[in-house]
């Protein structure tokens, strides 16, 4: 199959990426200290696996694309205290005049959107997604797993398996 066209299915602008990069880096940072303690593989974080792009394509794969407005919302978050700034801070942002819908006057939406971005960051990073490599931005049916994600080596997950000879004889 020719993937050249579908690889460009999702068009992501650099501007749009920035706030998502802040967010994924907050959740799964690069870690020189862990690298020092446990080996270089532990250095890498979500930015090295383009998890910001994962968030963007997930948001834009819904019938109402949400990446652009979410980027705008996150820009306000990061011009202030960031995602760890606390509920009061995040709540206050909903009142900003130029906050886009659906976040304007809707603090619960800001908070739930950030929560789901946090959990998507983990799903993106620890699942196979970054291993789709050059096909990662293609439509889901056209992606091909090209290599094992860095995260799998960091945590000792060998990838999908056909079976494990792991039965134990346990006497109750």
Partner 1 sequence: MNRQYDADVIVIGAGGGGAVVAKELGEKGIKVLVLEAGPWYGNSNWPEPNASKGGVSSSSYNDLSIDLLKHSFTDLEDDMNNLITGKLRWGPANRERGPWPRMGGLAWQNSGVGGSTLHYFGNCPRAYPSQVYNVWPISYQELVPYYEKVEMTLPVYPAPTTDKEELFYYGAKKVGWQYLEGKEINNPGYRPQPNAILRPNPLLMDPDFDLQNNRSVGCTLRGHCINGCNTGPAVEAVAKRSTMASYIPGALRTGNVEVRPNTFVIKVLTEGNSTGEIHAVGVQARDTWTGEVNEFRAQVIVMSAGGVETPRLWLNSGLPENPWVGKGMVTHWFDGVTGIFDENDLMNTLGISSIKPFVGQNAAARFDYPGLGIVMTVGITPGLFSSLIYASSSKGYSFINQRDLQAPWDVEGEIVGEQLKESMRDYTRTLSLTVFTDDTVSQENGVTLHPELKDENGYIPVINYTASEQDIIKRDKLAVIAADILRAAGAKTVIRSNWPPGIFIHIMSTMRMGYVTDTNCEAQQVKRLFIADNSVLFNGLGGPNPTLTTQALATRTAEKIAQLYFS
Closer CB to partner 1, 29 or 100, in the complex = 29
Radius of gyration over every alpha carbon of the chain, rounded to an integer in angstroms: 19
Distance CA 151, CA 21 (A): 17
Contacts of 103 (CB under 8 A, 6+ apart): 69, 73, 93, 94, 109, 110, 113
One of 47, 48, 61, 104 touching partner 1 (CB under 8 A): 61
Using rule CB under 8 A, residue 55 touches partner 1: no
Number of residues in contact with partner 1 under rule CB under 8 A: 54
* 58 touches partner 1 (CB under 8 A): yes
CA dihedral (15, 4, 133, 13) in degrees, to 10, reads: 0
Distance CA 82, CA 29 (A): 15
User: How far is residue 172's CA from residue 155's CA, in Å, rounded to a whole number?
Assistant: 32
Does residue 118 touch partner 1 according to CB under 8 A?
Answer: yes
Q: Which is nearer to partner 1, 21 or 120 (CB)?
A: 120
Of 97 and 164, CB closest to partner 1: 164
Q: List, in order, residues 6 or more apart from 125 with CB less than 8 Å away.
A: 24, 28, 46, 49, 51, 54, 149, 151
Q: Which of 12, 47, 81, 145 binds partner 1 (CB under 8 A)?
A: 145
Rule CB under 8 A: say whether 168 interacts with partner 1. yes
Considering only 19, 53, 126, 137, the residue that binds partner 1 (CB under 8 A) is 126
Closest by Cα among 153, 172, 140 to 38: 153
- Quick check: 77 and 114 in contact, CB under 8 A? yes
Write out the binding residues for partner 1, residues 3-32 only, by CB under 8 A. 26-29, 31
Nearer to partner 1, 95 or 108 (CB): 108
Interacting residues toward partner 1 by CB under 8 A:
26-29, 31, 33-34, 38, 42, 45, 58, 61-64, 84, 86-87, 115, 118-129, 139-141, 143, 145, 151-152, 154-157, 160-170, 172
């Amino acid at each position: 199959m020719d993937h050249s066209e579908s690889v460009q299915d999702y068009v992501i602008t650099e501007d749009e990426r920035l706030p998502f990069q802040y967010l994924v880096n907050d959740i799964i940072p690069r870690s020189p200290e862990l690298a020092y303690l446990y080996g270089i593989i532990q250095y890498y974080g979500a930015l090295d696996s383009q998890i910001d792009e994962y968030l963007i394509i997930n948001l834009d794969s819904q019938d109402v694309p949400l990446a652009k407005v979410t980027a705008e919302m996150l820009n306000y978050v990061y011009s202030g205290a960031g995602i760890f700034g606390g509920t009061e801070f995040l709540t206050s942002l909903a009142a900003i005049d130029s906050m886009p819908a659906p976040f304007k006057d809707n603090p619960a939406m800001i908070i739930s959107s950030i929560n789901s971005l946090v959990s998507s960051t983990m799903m993106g990073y620890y699942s196979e997604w970054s291993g789709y490599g050059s096909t990662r931005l293609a439509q889901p049916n056209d992606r091909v797993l090209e290599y094992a994600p860095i995260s799998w080596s960091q945590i000792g997950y060998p990838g999908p398996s056909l079976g494990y000879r792991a039965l134990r004889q346990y006497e109750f």
